[in-house]
A and B are shown apart, each in its own frame.
Chain A
Amino acid sequence: MADVNRGNRPLSPHLSIYRPLWTMVLSITHRITGVGLAVSITMITWWFLALAINEAYFEVANAVMTSVVGGFILIASLWALSFHFCNGIRHLFWDAGKGLDLNTAFKSGLAVMAGSVVLTVIGVLVVVGVI
């Protein structure tokens, strides 16, 4: 059927109508970290390709990864992965119909933020060889 009345139908309420809540920030951060991790995995794949090609190329990839900019990207990626991992598990619980009430959703949101920091620190400790 032709869409004859596009202009004056009532619109569903958009983001601007709601009072901002930090759980909204977690929600959009899940998407942002997901898209950002596409860049990270591309970089990691390039590093693996270099490893498969030869030592000289691998040294280049390794130098990029361990440079200041590369290191910053890797630590940011580690946090993004930790966040996406924890919040993804939170989403799986929601998909199973659990933890959907407001109070639990707020608490699990806090747990996700704490968990993402803890996992990032553990990751950095593995990189520097403490663990």
Chain B
Amino acid sequence: MRYQTDRQRVEGLGSAKDGTMEWWKQRLGAVALIPLVFLFIFPLLRSIGGDFDDVRAVYAHPVNALVAILFFITIMSHLRQGLQEVIVDYVHGKAAVTISLLVNTMFTTLIGVTGVFSIAKIAFGG
């Protein structure tokens, strides 16, 4: 027997079963990206087209490496959420939606992990 009241069991949960948590996570990530974009983009813009050893030195620096890793994790979660919204709005049919969402998760995870791994490898001097 459940001791929770019906009201307490469903409070905050809509038809999606996870309430507004997904929406709230999107906003948290978006706010985190405001400083992260700036911190990530400036060393990047200076590094594109640069000399191999110089650029390696930039991303071997712990601060730049940390910023880049945090950026990759946050942006890829943000991208997955954003593309998911686009998919559920414009793709129709259960199979097509399921496959698109699966590809979305695999793609964003692959790019995110590749970014984090590359930065970590450079930062640890490999």
Contact = CB atoms under 8 A, between A and B. Distances in A.
B122 interface: yes
Interface residues of A, number: 32
A127 B45 contact: yes
A59 to B, nearest CB: 7
Given A49-B118, A52-B117, A65-B48, A126 B31 contact: no
Tell me the dominant secondary structure on chain B's binding face. Answer: helix
B30 A92 contact: yes
A31 B86 contact: yes
Most B Cβ at <10 Å: residue of A34, A59, A66, A91: A34
Interface string A56-91: 001100100110000000100000010001001101
Interface of B: 27, 30-31, 33-34, 37, 41-42, 44-46, 48-50, 52, 55-56, 59, 68, 72, 75-76, 79, 82-83, 86, 111, 114-115, 117-119, 121-122, 126
Interface of A: 31, 34-35, 37-38, 41-42, 44-45, 47-49, 51-52, 55, 58-59, 62, 65-66, 74, 81, 85, 88-89, 91-92, 95, 123, 126-127, 129
10 contacts: A42-B111, A45-B111, A45-B115, A48-B115, A51-B59, A62-B48, A62-B49, A81-B41, A85-B37, A95-B27
